[in-house]
Structure 1
């Protein structure tokens, strides 16, 4: 599956040919450098490793400096492997946003915004316990009964409770490519993409 590494720029909206206003996300996609080509003979599987976003040499380990020097490129911040990449790729090749054309459908993978420790209402959409009358006090956002008593005398695994929310790997599928701007390395896709502005995303074709 071919793809590219990008960075979420932000959201906007554009009008299509029918005059409908479509919400969309702008992604700075590439240019990415091929830093390694995995083969079955050497690695046991086939894949193409891409690198994206400049990184200072002083913040790069010696091992990674050697890794990037083999591809004749400067240190990069993000490395991702893509399996079954279309076309033959060699060490040092550059992958740009020209990989996509308007009308393509892509899958976008990102890390969702972290929201810290949250209760059951925000995390799972619970409605709280009862109303504000009939003796209820400070129960509007409480989880209520967990359903376990003398048997099994424990909480079942997977019980929906309060806890850390967000910061997960999320894939949004079948987003349409609305615009491609090769000069600015920009990709405009329909709908929303997980993550905050400036976060890394992976666009799979």
Structure 2
């Protein structure tokens, strides 16, 4: 017979307000810490009382983490704990941990950017942008790294596959949503796109 898990006391009414708030902060931090992917606000709201503001709890956790080598950040419509960028070299040196995008060359990053800006996009659409065929191997490599996924079929003849970015793309590039992509004018000003 399966053992029944007791319901989580989210209200914590038996605790004084300051301790209750600290307990809610601990729960949110623990849930985010234990997750390998961004945790949506709705999931966090399930571990705190109805009167608790998830946003204020997160702000307090972020304040507690000031000066620590990791931080709580909003990415891909959720929250995640990440090592602060200034510690990347130390982590790589100690643990031989490579950067997630280290093995993408400049052209692969350009293809990824084209998909991000023009999604859903077919391989023919990529050919129109770059003036040459984009190999299935390159597309497969971006899919294997979970940076892109198959999108809806194109309404064109033959209904070719389209490609779209994934939540992992947002996580890797530290974005909350695609609205965080630089606009075309910013890219042109930086010399990264032609007008």
Please give the range of the TM-score, normalised by the shorter of the 2 chains.
Answer: under 0.3
Larger RCO of the pair (alpha carbons < 8 Å, separation 6+): 1
Q: Larger radius of gyration, structure 1 or 2?
A: 1
Structure with more of its chain in helix, by fraction: 2
The structure where strand makes up a greater share of residues is: 1
- TM-score for both structures, normalised by structure 1: 0.25
TM-score (norm 2): 0.26
